[in-house]
Amino acid sequence: MSMTSQNSDRAIDTLVALLQSLKHVDHQAASKAAVDKLTQLKNGTLAITTEDVATTLKNFKENLRNS
């Protein structure tokens, strides 16, 4: 799958707006961390390691089993 840069920027901006709208104290630290990562992704400065990929795939498999 692929997206144009304009579409991916719009999607990231939407996610950032959603995360920034969360006001519950339990979500503030996680939301800020996610906004930082999304900003890095949009700017092309997010470093994705093989460990990140492995963790994501592991979580994906667990979620599939639990659904």
pLDDT digits (tens, 9 = 90+) for 22-60: 877 777 888 889 999 999 999 999 999 999 999 999 999
- Long-range contacts at 48-51 (CB < 8 A, ≥ 24 apart): none
Top pLDDT among 26 and 16 is at 16
**pTM here?**
0.66
How far is Cα 3 from Cα 9, in angstroms, rounded to an integer? 10
CA angle (16, 21, 23) in 5-degree steps: 130
How far is Cα 60 from Cα 38, in angstroms, rounded to an integer? 19
Nearest residue to 17 (alpha-carbon basis) of 42, 51, 47 = 42
Domain ranges of the chain: 5-66
Q: Tell me the mean pLDDT in the region 11-30.
A: 87
Top pLDDT among 28 and 1 is at 28
> Confidence class of residue 1 from pLDDT cuts 50, 70 and 90?
low
